Structure formats: C-alpha cells, structure tokens
Chains A and B, each alone.
Chain A
Amino acid sequence: DTAVSQTPKYLVTQMGNDKSIKCEQNLGHDTMYWYKQDSKKFLKIMFSYNNKELIINETVPNRFSPKSPDKAHLNLHINSLELGDSAVYFCASSQQGAVTGELFFGEGSRLTVL
C-alpha cells in the first residue's frame, strides 16, 4: 500500500508545453505539499494546502498552480514550461496540528524540459 503516490515518475517535455503531475495520499492527512528538488539536492517548498487554506511560497512563479479535487489529491500544473523547471518534484502529506509534524513523501517525479 503506497502512502503517497505520484505520477508520472518521469516526464520529458519541450519548452513552452503545459504539464501536470498528480499526487494522491491514502493516509487520511489533511495537508499536502509540493516540493522542488534541484540538481544540487536543495529542497524548496512550493505550496502547502489543506481544505481550508492554500499557502504559496512567494518565490514560486505563477506558472505553477496546485489543484486539489479532494482532500486526498493535490495535483501540480505547470504552464509554459521553461528549462529551469527541470527538477524532481516531490509531493508530501502530513496531519497538521498546532505545529507541523512528520511529512510523508512520494517517490518524486523527475521533470526534464528540453
């Protein structure tokens, strides 16, 4: 049973295209996240989302948009892809209490923009 699953695992596309990465969690968590990991392994928070609030890291371009059809899903849509968008994108979830607890990560989606 995969707790947090992402698809696709690999995605190769041309500059200017629009693409989506899907994420689903079966842990019953109320908060989901998207992180971007660059080639130097730095992890950058992009979004935090629960059914009440979307928190966007202000450095994320508005070409990136999270879409949540329900509590268990948080998809990442990227418009007009650029070379610098190439990275591994990780979805994660947690049960948000007064403070942030343990995050459960997916296996990552490696995006390559040509």
Chain B
Amino acid sequence: SQQGEEDPQALSIQEGENATMNCSYKTSINNLQWYRQNSGRGLVHLILIRSNEREKHSGRLRVTLDTSKKSSSLLITASRAADTASYFCATDANAGNMLTFGGGTRLMVKP
C-alpha cells in the first residue's frame, strides 16, 4: 500500500477560494514533502517540512505536520486557475531514503 495517501482524491473549487489537501502516512519520517504536477509534465517540488516542524509557509502555501497523527495538510489560499494540477505528498520513511509518493489530489480551480 502507499506510504502516503492523499485526501480528497479530487477537489473542485472556484477561483479565490482556499483549497485544503490532506496526506496520511504510516511510519516514522524524517521529512514530508509536497509536489505539484501539471498535466503532462514532471513533478515540481513545493515545500519540505521536517519532522520537528509543525507548520511552514511559502507564499500562498501553508503546510502543517502532525507526527502524532501521522498526517499533513497543504493549504492553498486565494486559489487561481493556474493552481489547477495534481498535488502529491511524499515521505522518506523507506530504507535507502527513497521518497515514497501518495496517489495525489487532483485540484481543479474554476475561473
């Protein structure tokens, strides 16, 4: 099974609204990362949060991490049509420090 699992699988909102995506994982981690993938493109790193951090901001992005619940959330504020993409969380829990990705949340922002 996937180490990280995103929820919801798909999300459709209007421009200007906030979008919240959640990620749950199973084992202890060193860090958790969020990536974005536009249709037909490669993944692009958005933000990394370490296991000893609880919250991190980057522009319109806010990431939280709750290690006791083994969960993280990604909040995109004041969404734009250009934010339409798939968003993945990734953790480094596996041997060899390989990043393991969840199934992603497909976000659609309607203009």
Beyond A42-B2, A45-B98, A96-B97, whether A90 also contacts B43 by CB under 8 A is yes
Interface 1/0s, chain A 2-37, versus B by CB < 8 A? Answer: 001000000000000000000000000000010100
State how many residues of chain B have any CB contact under 8 Å with chain A: 28
* Chain B hits for A92, CB < 8 A: 43
CB distance from A103 to the nearest CB of B (A): 6
* Chain A hits for B99, CB < 8 A: 33, 45, 100, 103
- Contacts from A to B (Cβ < 8 Å): 4, 33, 35, 40-45, 48, 53, 55, 57, 90, 92, 96, 99-108
Is B101 positioned at the interface, with any CB of A under 8 Å from its CB? yes
User: Do residues A43 and B98 form an inter-chain contact, with CB atoms below 8 A?
Assistant: no
* Chain A hits for B92, CB < 8 A: 99-100
Is B33 positioned at the interface, with any CB of A under 8 Å from its CB? yes
* Chain B hits for A90, CB < 8 A: 42-43
Is B22 positioned at the interface, with any CB of A under 8 Å from its CB? no
User: Do residues B96 and A102 form an inter-chain contact, with CB atoms below 8 A?
Assistant: no
Q: In the complex, A92 Cα to B42 Cα: how many Å? A: 9
